Amino acid sequence: MDDGAPTIEVSLEMLRLAAAAGTTDIVATPHSNGEFEYQPALIDERIAELTRLTGGVPRIHRGCDLHLSFDNISAAIEDPSKFAIAGGRYVLVECSDLHISGSMDKVLDRLMSVDLVPIITHPERNPILQKETAKLVSWVDLGCLVQVTALSVLGGFGKRAGTTAHALLAQGLVHVIASDAHDPEHRHPKLDEAFASVSLQYGQDVAKMLFVDNPGKIIRGQYVSAERWQQAETRKWWEFWRSNER
């Protein structure tokens, strides 16, 4: 439908890989931008066909990677469910790599006024946001969520994206880690390696929140807190031994 899977066979292979890696739910997010037209009815048809062929494993939900153009913002305000994940209250929004308007706060606030919660996608790969992470802080303070790409966490998008992703994680500014998969090999849908890496570096509770709990709540349209989280402090082995001595 855009620059993702070119054929149904590739889509099926991606779904097989995702299921094998432990994924239970996938949000299909074709772009809506100047290059690609967003076609909800056609997306629903394709999802139904894939669901029939896979037996519904993993489950597929409709979403959109929404470029924040004037037309898209107007369309989202007029029909909030059109671009939302599973027709609910969360919408993925993509910032331009070339320019971020000074009125971005107002745009995001306008979306939230119609009960749409913006999820800022892959800011760690955006050359502007890599240098100006303070913008993300202000958007999170507004109530927006932040999603980073699993391959960025693993270094698959280069040093700058990886460094930014971990800086955001260290500040508790990440709410979801997703595959942003486009193909079965280079931008694959497997999340198990990233889950293991985040568990090791930030703790299993954090990994579960970012890969399981928050994504599940988003799909179901449930509340996800935008507040910055804190990593549980890892105790040194001798502290654990002393506490058990008492």
Is the bond into 123 cis (omega within 30 degrees of 0)?
no
Question: Domain residue spans in the chain?
Answer: 63-229
Per-residue pLDDT, 77? 96
The span from the CA of 163 to the CA of 124, in Å, is: 8
CA 202 to chain centre: 18
Whether the Cβ atoms of residue 153 and residue 162 lie closer than 8 Å to each other? yes
Q: Which CATH class is domain 63-229?
A: alpha beta
Beta sheet of 90-94, edge-to-edge order: 31-32, 65-67, 90-94, 117-121, 145-149, 176-178
Question: How do residues 204-245 score in pLDDT, each as one tens digit?
Answer: 999 999 999 999 999 999 999 999 998 755 444 444 444 444
Phi, psi of 147 (to 5 degrees): -120, 130
The span from the CA of 198 to the CA of 152, in Å, is: 12
Q: List residues bridging with 213 in a β-sheet.
A: none
Please indicate, yes or no, whether the overall pTM of this predicted structure exceeds 0.85. yes
Whether the Cβ atoms of residue 65 and residue 32 lie closer than 8 Å to each other? yes
Question: How do residues 17-64 score in pLDDT, each as one tens digit?
Answer: 999 999 999 999 999 998 999 999 999 999 999 999 999 999 999 999
Average pLDDT over residues 76-91: 97
The span from the CA of 169 to the CA of 137, in Å, is: 12
Question: How do residues 99-112 score in pLDDT, each as one tens digit?
Answer: 999 999 999 999 99
